[in-house]
Amino acid sequence: MESVARPLPNPNLNIRTLPSSSPRGSFTVSRVTFDQWRNRPRLRAGRHRPVAAVANPRSEHDVVVVGAGIIGLAVARQLLLSSDLSVAVVDAAVPCSGATGAGQGYIWMAHKTPGSETWELAARSKQLWEELAESIRDQGKDPAEVLGWKKTGSLLVGRTLEESYMLEERVKLLNQAGLQAEYLPASSLHLEEPALEIGKEGGAALVPDDCQLDASQTVAFIEEGNKQFNSQGRYAEFYNDPALSLLRSSCTQTVEGVQTSKNNLYAKRAVVIAAGAWSGPLMQSLIVQPNLLPNIPVKPRKGHLLLLENFKDLQLNHGVMEVGYIDHQVFTSSTRSFTPGAVEDDDNLSSISMTATLDVKRNLLLGSSRQFVGFSREMDESIVKRIWDRAGEFFPALKSLDNKIDKIRIGHRPYMPDGKPVIGPVPSLPNVFLAAGHEGSGLCLALGTAEMVADMILGNPITIDHTPYSVEGRFC
């Protein structure tokens, strides 16, 4: 199998289409290709990058957001809607070229754990997504068409007695947290999902209010909304224009904005770094004295997702995920216990756990993999095969459809070793905020994150406890 990326402009740069004649795609950023830019030599820590503003065009904004993934765009949206500030969004490429374009679209609570540090943010964020879908409905539009929104309910499934017991306990916890959830033994599950095969000892947690969206449609909707503020001079986009350094006052060293490859973007109020998996290295290369900065250990966790278009070969009534996914998502080097049965290998700490959704366009999405292999965007055929085989274990009807994979999505989840995103001000850099490290939950957590960042910038009371996500006390 070979892979190809389409030429710019392309909101789905991380979608590899099968089959193709070109082994690897690249696209242009300024005068260098995107891949050359991504792989550019980095300054060693402690080396000083000259920040003298080159003769780029200059523009002034209240807030400059670096990164046009779901997090950066949602932060921009929240600021535009809840204040009169002006916002500029800058991206090295285009929206959806990072992890966002690869996302499967789960807006789920089933695999979040009540009482965990991210629970409150997930619950708030889900509420905001539901309110957004409702407001679209109130305007006489269909959220399915606008966001790819579907309230399918979620099924977290296990195939052993041990997993079934774990799921029963999870249902109790979810109920105690006020969520509607039900444990289904294999016999009842068969009525809900006839194509799903989990054996007699298996079971599932059903959370009927869980939803899903389509990341590309949602990003297009947010972008369109943000652009409404163009005419008031409150919104500007700078795409294919990587941020290179922070502009700082020569007297006070205060951060004054962002220097990109083509522009000097001054930010009167704040700079928000929302560059996903690139945020850690970017923070180090953006400033003159990186050794003064906390080391934000965000690293890329590559994921593959298989896509079968216009899928009608089996019925899928819910979003489905194997329970082993939970351990895979929160995996840290100190907690190396994967759920029995899930597929793992030690070479690059890769793991596969079955996920399956049918989106509003009838694309069947099968996931997913997790690997630590840097920023490689190459399709890995062995990973594709493992995802396919794993899906076939749960949906035997898939086994006869081997040649039906139409596309592979590849993205880099922004992984944090302690399993939590980092959201908040950078103590050593007044006016600079971080919003990154959402790993496999960035779509889910986007609106809650955006609300939190906007409230911080605006000095508003913060809706939920933000301390679990702060930079201070965690990295410095």
Ligand X SMILES: Cc1cc2nc3c(=O)[nH]c(=O)nc-3n(C[C@H](O)[C@H](O)[C@H](O)COP(=O)(O)OP(=O)(O)OC[C@H]3O[C@@H](n4cnc5c(N)ncnc54)[C@H](O)[C@@H]3O)c2cc1C
Position of tokens 């959830």? 181
- Give the residue with the Cβ less far from ligand X, 186 or 213: 213
Q: Report how far apart, in Å, the C-alpha atoms of 176 and of each of 180, 182, 207 are.
A: 9, 12, 13
Among 438, 468, 469, 471, binds ligand X (CB under 6 A): 438
Q: Answer yes or no: are the C-beta atoms of 118 and 468 closer than 8 Å.
A: yes
Which among 39-47, 187-195, 268-276, 322-330 is the span making contact with ligand X, rule CB under 6 A?
Answer: 268-276
Among positions 103, 153, 257, 290, the unique one binding ligand X when judged by CB under 6 A: 103
| Best CA proximity match to 365, nearest among 157, 248, 213 | 213
* Packing angle of the helix pair 215-227, 70-82 (nearest 10 deg): 30
Instruction: Pick the closer one to ligand X by CB: 186 or 282.
Output: 282
Q: What is the DSSP letter of 414?
A: E
Among 8, 63, 65, 68, binds ligand X (CB under 6 A): 68
Question: Which is closer to ligand X, CB of 186 or CB of 255?
Answer: 255
CB 425 within 8 A of CB 271: no
> Using CB under 6 A, which of 15, 89, 90, 196 touches ligand X?
90
User: How far is residue 92's CA from residue 49's CA, in Å, rounded to a whole number?
Assistant: 19
User: Using the rule CB under 6 A, which residue among 143, 153, 290, 367 binds ligand X?
Assistant: 367
**Cα(91)–Cα(80) distance, rounded to whole angstroms?**
18
Which member of 153, 158, 203, 303 binds ligand X (CB under 6 A)?
A: 303
Size of the site for ligand X (CB under 6 A): 43
CA proximity to 146, closest of 225, 67, 69, 235: 225
Regarding 440 and contact with ligand X (CB under 6 A), the answer is yes
The residue assigned the tokens 């970017």 is 282
Q: Is 443 a binder of ligand X (CB under 6 A)?
A: yes
Q: Tell me how far apart the alpha carbons of residues 309 and 387 are, in angstroms, rounded to a whole number.
A: 17
Q: How far is the CB of 311 from ligand X (least distance, A)?
A: 17
CB of 14 vs ligand X, minimal distance in Å: 8
How far, CA to CA in Å, does 436 sit from each of 75, 134, 176, 290, 453?
Answer: 11, 27, 30, 18, 11
Write each residue from 214 to 253 as x if it is in contact with ligand X (CB under 6 A), else as -, in one continuous string. ----------------------------xx----------
Q: Using CB under 6 A, which residues numbered 271 to 300 contact ligand X?
A: 274-278, 282
What is the distance between the alpha carbons of residues 422 and 280, in angstroms, rounded to a whole number? 11
Residue 102 lies near ligand X (rule: CB under 6 A) = yes
Member of 305, 358, 453, 471 binding ligand X (CB under 6 A):
305
Query: Counting contacts by CB under 6 A, is residue 424 touching ligand X?
Result: no
The pair of structure tokens assigned to 73 is: 């765009």
Positions in the binding site for ligand X (CB under 6 A): 66-72, 90-93, 97-100, 102-106, 242-243, 274-278, 282, 303, 305, 367-368, 411, 413-414, 436, 438-444
